[in-house]
Amino acid sequence: MRSFDEQIHRIFFRWGLVAHNHRFVFFTVPLFLTAVLACGFYWIKEQTTIDPQFVFSPEDAPWRYELNVLSEHWPTDEQSFWPGKSYDYHGYVDVIVAGKEDPQYGRPNMLQLAYIEEVDRINKYIINNVTIPVEHDGKTYEIGFTDLCMSYEWKCYLNDHITMLMPKRKWGNFEGQLAEFASDIITREVQITYPIGWRGSEPIYFGALVGGPHISDEEGHFDYAKAVRLTYNVRDDKIGNVSYLWRKKLTQFLTDKEHPPSEILEFGMFHNESLPEGLQDVADTLGPRFVLTSAILFIFCVGSSIVLINNHGFMGVDWVRSKPILAVAGLFCPLLAVASAFGLILWTGTLYNAIVNVSPFIVICIGVDDMFIMVAAWHRTNPKLSVSRRLAETLAEAAVAITITSLTDMLTFGIGCLTTLPGVRLFCLYTFWGITFTYIYQLTYFAAMMAYAGEMEDKGKHSLFIGRTIHPEEADTGFKRIFLTGSVSRTFNLRAKTKAHKVHFSADALPNKGDTGEAERKPSWKARISSVMAKLETKMDKNDEDLASHHEQETFVNKLFREIYGPYLLAPATKAGVLVIYLVYISFAIIGCAQIQEGLNPKTLVRRSFYLSDFYQLIDETFWEEGLQMQVVVNNPPDLFDPEQRQRFSQLMSEFENTEYTMKHNATMIWLNAYETKLQSDLDDFNITLPKTSTEWYERCREWLITAGGRRLWEKDMVWGKNRSDPSDYNHLYAFRFQVGLRNYKTPTDHTNSCKLMRRIATNFHEFNVTTFHEYYPFADQYLELKPALFRNCAIAVVCMLAVSLVMIPHYGAAFAIVAAIISIDLGVLGFMTLWGVRLESVSMITIIMSIGFSVDLSAHIAYAYVKAPGDSTKKAIESLETLGWPVFLGAGSTLVGIMVLSTVDATIVQIFFKTIFLVIFSSMAHGLVFLPILLSLVIPHAHDRTQHEEEQNEVEAKTEPSLPEGKRRDDFECASIDSKALSDVDIASDGDKTEPEVKVFAMAAEKTYGGCEGPNAEYVKLISCDGHDFYIKRELAMCSGTIKAMLSGPGQFEESELNVVHFRDIPSHVLHKVCQYLSYKHRYTNSPTEIPEFPLPAEGSLELLMAANFLDC
């Protein structure tokens, strides 16, 4: 039974024949399909989501429920709006104003008259002069802030606190006794203190209005402020579009670098479209970079596709075998895939976000990686074969490699789609389909391009100019020698037609005509599929008969890996050095993993040159230190008149106010303090007794709200019954809220820890059904989901990769080695990205998920080649590097080259992509080309294809004595080859009256063991070809050659090695192999009484074989 990888080889071999026969269809259909699917881009605008809270926060995040609680109790009312009580930032404009920083002295004092007056001037200009034209009924109106503002009792909030921060003499033009009276009132009634000041009995939360103050006394007076905050709230319901245009106009005014609004002030601005605009700004910068990436990869790929030709010491370009057209097609293929994938997803109505714009970089790098694998496989095929056969051999050889690459990448990104983070899911979804279409188009569009390029090579045409090339010896000018020379094509090669041979297929490929019983049976579904495929395939060329599928021509890259890099890497001293390097690598990785920090700081989402980065810089210096407010909702209020419940509520307040992330009680804005102060004042001033019952307590509270100085604030914090006819309902407090001041809120870790702590405190008082909320909770919930999602997805991905490896890699040990490499690579990426300053957040999570696919890509190629290679552990490792080391290097190198342009984008989010992808590729390449070959050679030195071993065992069992006809004996192995690419049949005639040749196939069972016999020894001789392949032959057979006999007899004109070993300087393996067969043939039929059958002489290389036979005197 064939192994899975053998089935893949077989399927793709036949697919290559189909692709060649229908290359025009395979070329045009992907183009047509892409054109159709790309129509999905028509809906990209309406399906684009710019809401960062949706993109970067889990769909089932708790903040969504918490925000919904606030919106149910206190829905936004644009005609009853009060700053500081809002939780909805639609229509909200936040401006932080600070003096320009002095390099030596830092930020100036914003309370100085020059600065605060400049702030007042800017504020008045914004209110009165920042307008937009609006046409209505044929007339144009200039619409300003007062036309658009949210209001309370039809009055806009105009940042009145600016006046309060000025010296008191600036509050009005008072003179004489009026001035003295006004000053008296101001001194008595207005308290400018931090964090809460007072305007009469109305509190003002200066914690959110003044940043970085210096407190001068215990009462909270301050004499220095680093920044002042301004807010502008415009309606977003019915006139949202006009409000949006006004916010854009305001943004242009405050962020104008050429004509700044002030010479002494800096402005940080934020509104609800700022972050989406910042993300789109990042996406817009990626467009030109993607073009640059494509151009760089084009140059890299075209340069890598050039094949050199040596003509008497002059190295020129072989324009016949070079494949620049395939390099271009290899780049165009993933571009088609990206267009198809994006179009298909948009066709289905799936949302789109700017974070997806990084996906094409990944898809194109994966596509180019597979292109290098396929082109390398083409160049390893025998150029003397027909194009259809070469394409079939190419796909058969590259089948497992590109299937593993694509399947593992599809699995990793498919698993990423299972996450609850919409941004990660969208990215993985678009990338998944991009890789899927890349795989499909590689087997259709790119295979068709290979067929066309192969036809050009077969006919000796120039790979760029289409016309015929000339032989280097015919070039009479330097221009022709450089630009027009090429190798001789197969069509014009002289081909000896000494004998026609049939192409032999295995028994299950063609029906057995001699078996009439089988012919009458109904064909199986496999046979029917095979029959259909046969009709679609290109018919095999008779000239391909008896030709080796792969050539043994020496190349610089082969020699580099086989004779220089491979032996050096596998030397004992190098292995010891690599072990030390790996221990250092894994140690630093573990140290980094122990220091992982979660969280995506919002300021990292935009470019450093974008205006929003100034806002985050200023708020980081000021209000993130302290001053922000958290909403606390009590959905099931206690009876505040009841002493026990009141004590329990006081305990709740105390726990919220005494944490490392919250300010003390003097920063808490709660109506209860003001109400109880009023009750005590009534008792002291008017001898009004305190409430005696709970009902009275709540009735007087409801009455107090009508006349309270802070009525505008407190009524926005309480939810009362609305049925006036029912006092028990009307005076019932169904819910209320208060605001707690925050501090130490600077980093994502602070956001996360604070969020967890506040929710835990709320949970401890479950009887009150407490809900907390802050505008950074959506980001905190993302941080809380990251680690569990990462570990969950990585675990699933590793299990899937193990399953794929066990199926695709024909050796269990090698499959587990790949999984070990995945774990090692992921540890390295996590550790070193932390040491490089990268946090664990949505973007890095995407690349870590992606690293699993990339690590399998590069490691699986080497592991598969190692298992399939013959020889001992050293030879297997060297051959695996020789076969796939260069394509792996080119694939990794092209990816690194492709992402280098991302390092030029001044956005931290893109820098995170660059750093993590760089670590992924570099670590994967180091494992594939350095660590893994050494690991395989040490752990599984005798690894072989498990199915091949089973087949060998079956063959040995089938050839045991009881299975032979009576009177026949089992022949010993007489010769065998360790060249895995050139194992052929040994034609041996049996004893007796049988005259037809008996065919036996020999393969290596273990190192230096052939058919149960070890060699070389007294019975066997070892022959080594000029290209380094070993052949074992019985000594009595070798003695049939006079030359070999002389070489074994003693020193002379021939090179002599150790006993029983002969080296041939000029005889390649495919010739020496046939010579060994002929020696067996000659020994068997010399002096034989039976009729001697004709020795099968291959058409290709017959002259070379005859020359070798003459030299060997056989």
Q: What is the reported pLDDT for 66?
A: 94
Q: What is the reported pLDDT for 734?
A: 96
pLDDT-based confidence at 88, cuts 50/70/90? Answer: confident
pLDDT digits (tens, 9 = 90+) for 22-42: 999 999 999 999 999 999 999
Number of separate helices (H) and strands (E) present in the chain: 39, 27
Q: How far is 640 from 638, CA to CA, in rounded Å?
A: 6
- What's the DSSP call for residue 565? I
| C-alpha distances out from residue 943 to 37, 1005, 1063, 1108, Å | 46, 11, 28, 35
User: pTM for this one?
Assistant: 0.71
Q: Which of 299, 455, 307, 458 is nearest to 375 (CA)?
A: 307
CB atoms within 10 A of CB 720: 18
Residue 655: both structure tokens together: 């726990």
Q: What is the reported pLDDT for 1048?
A: 67
**Tokens 């496999």 identify what position?**
526
Q: Which of 877, 875, 881 is nearest to 1024 (CA)?
A: 875
pLDDT digits (tens, 9 = 90+) for 290-305: 788 778 888 888 887 7
| C-alpha distances out from residue 685 to 675, 680, 707, 763, 929, Å | 15, 8, 17, 41, 88
Q: Which of 134, 98, 140, 122 is nearest to 232 (CA)?
A: 122
**The pairing of beta strand 139-143 with beta strand 975-977:** unpaired
Q: Which of 466, 458, 463 is nearest to 385 (CA)?
A: 458
- Which amino acid is present at 527? A
Q: How far is 361 from 391, CA to CA, in rounded Å?
A: 29
Task: List the domain range (segments joined by +) for residue 656.
Answer: 626-775
Is-contact 402 374, C-beta < 8 A? yes
Partners of 550 in beta bridges: 381
pLDDT-based confidence at 347, cuts 50/70/90? Answer: very high
- Which amino acid is present at 378? W
**Tokens 């490089």 identify what position?**
836
* Between 148 and 1088, residue with greater pLDDT: 148
Is-contact 321 456, C-beta < 8 A? no
Least confident of 238-242, 539-543, 691-695: 539-543
Are 252 and 295 part of one and the same domain? no
CB atoms within 10 A of CB 689: 9
Q: What does the H/E/C string look like for 345-388?
A: HHHCCCCECHHHHHHHHHHHHHHHHHHHHHHHHHHHECCCCCHH
- What's the DSSP call for residue 57? S
Domain-ending residue, one of 775, 810, 832: 775
| C-alpha distances out from residue 189 to 186, 194, 704, Å | 5, 16, 20
Partners of 231 in beta bridges: 94
pLDDT digits (tens, 9 = 90+) for 175-229: 555 566 666 667 777 889 999 998 888 899 999 999 999 999 988 999 999 999 9
Residue 448: both structure tokens together: 């068709």
Are 250 and 283 part of one and the same domain? no
- Assess whether pLDDT exceeds 60 at residue 871: yes
What one-character-per-residue DSSP string does 1020-1084 give? EEEEE-TTS-EEEEEHHHHTTSHHHHHHHHS-SSS---STTEEE-SS--HHHHHHHHHHHHHHHH
| Residue 532 covered by a domain | no
Domain-ending residue, one of 915, 939, 963: 939
869: alpha, beta or left? (left if phi > 0; alpha if psi -120 to 50):
beta
Partners of 202 in beta bridges: 199
Q: What is the reported pLDDT for 889?
A: 84
Q: How far is 650 from 1101, CA to CA, in rounded Å?
A: 99
- Assess whether pLDDT exceeds 60 at residue 282: yes
Average pLDDT of span 668-672: 94
How far is C-alpha 209 from the chain's CA centre? 43
Average pLDDT of the chain, as a whole number: 79
Are 992 and 1098 part of one and the same domain? yes
| C-alpha distances out from residue 228 to 516, 619, 688, Å | 97, 11, 42
Residue 140 exposed, middle or buried by CB count within 10 Å (0-12, 13-18, 19+)? exposed
Q: What is the reported pLDDT for 1011?
A: 36
Q: In what order do the strands lie in the sheet with 227-233?
A: 210-211, 227-233, 92-99, 265-271
| C-alpha distances out from residue 1061 to 372, 914, 1021, Å | 39, 54, 6
Handedness of CA 569, 574, 575, 577 (dihedral sign): negative
| Residue 965 covered by a domain | no
The C-alpha angle with vertex 436 and arms to 432 and 440, in degrees rounded to 5, equals 170
Residue 140: both structure tokens together: 């144009």
Are 745 and 639 part of one and the same domain? yes
Are 928 and 993 part of one and the same domain? no
Are 447 and 560 part of one and the same domain? yes
- Assess whether pLDDT exceeds 90 at residue 737: yes
Are 696 and 823 part of one and the same domain? no
| C-alpha distances out from residue 975 to 978, 1001, 1034, 1038, Å | 10, 10, 7, 10
Q: How far is 908 from 744, CA to CA, in rounded Å?
A: 23
**Radius of gyration, CA atoms only, the chain:** 40
| Residue 730 covered by a domain | yes
pLDDT-based confidence at 581, cuts 50/70/90? Answer: very high
Are 434 and 578 part of one and the same domain? yes
| Residue 849 covered by a domain | yes
pLDDT-based confidence at 534, cuts 50/70/90? Answer: low
| Residue 905 covered by a domain | yes
Are 440 and 370 part of one and the same domain? yes
Average pLDDT of span 721-727: 90
* Between 383 and 394, residue with greater pLDDT: 394
733: three-class secondary structure by DSSP: strand
* Between 1005 and 909, residue with greater pLDDT: 909
CB atoms within 10 A of CB 1034: 20
**The pairing of beta strand 92-99 with beta strand 227-233:** antiparallel
Most confident of 244-248, 359-363, 422-426, 787-791: 244-248
**The pairing of beta strand 718-720 with beta strand 626-634:** unpaired
Q: What is the reported pLDDT for 993?
A: 38
pLDDT digits (tens, 9 = 90+) for 328-341: 898 899 999 999 99
Q: What is the reported pLDDT for 1018?
A: 60
Average pLDDT of span 950-974: 40
The C-alpha angle with vertex 323 and arms to 322 and 324, in degrees rounded to 5, equals 110
Residue 146: both structure tokens together: 């007062």
Non-local CB neighbours of 240 within 8 Å, separated by 6+ positions: 90, 91
Is-contact 235 78, C-beta < 8 A? yes
93: three-class secondary structure by DSSP: strand
Q: How many domains does the chain have?
A: 4
Is-contact 772 631, C-beta < 8 A? yes
Q: What is the reported pLDDT for 605?
A: 80
- Assess whether pLDDT exceeds 70 at residue 14: yes
Are 148 and 29 part of one and the same domain? no
Q: What is the reported pLDDT for 708?
A: 83
Q: How far is 72 from 517, CA to CA, in rounded Å?
A: 80
Q: How far is 660 from 669, CA to CA, in rounded Å?
A: 18
| Residue 728 covered by a domain | yes
Partners of 977 in beta bridges: 1031
Q: What is the reported pLDDT for 2?
A: 54
How far is C-alpha 848 from the chain's CA centre? 7
Residue 918: both structure tokens together: 């760089």
Least confident of 4-18, 177-191, 454-468, 701-715: 177-191
Most confident of 168-177, 483-492, 867-876, 991-1000: 867-876
Is-contact 701 639, C-beta < 8 A? no
Is-contact 433 345, C-beta < 8 A? yes
**The pairing of beta strand 770-773 with beta strand 626-634:** antiparallel
Q: How far is 857 from 884, CA to CA, in rounded Å?
A: 12
Q: How far is 1065 from 1056, CA to CA, in rounded Å?
A: 12
Average pLDDT of span 646-656: 96
Helix axes 643-657, 748-764, angle to 10 degrees: 170
pLDDT digits (tens, 9 = 90+) for 1019-1048: 777 888 877 777 777 777 777 777 777 666
Residue 795 exposed, middle or buried by CB count within 10 Å (0-12, 13-18, 19+)? exposed
- Assess whether pLDDT exceeds 50 at residue 116: yes
- Assess whether pLDDT exceeds 90 at residue 77: no
pLDDT-based confidence at 957, cuts 50/70/90? Answer: very low
Are 563 and 635 part of one and the same domain? no
351 CB-side CA count, 13 A = 15
Instruction: For residue 798, give the CATH number of its domain.
Output: 1.20.1640.10
Domain-ending residue, one of 272, 296, 331: 272
| Residue 577 covered by a domain | yes
| Residue 313 covered by a domain | no
Are 294 and 437 part of one and the same domain? yes
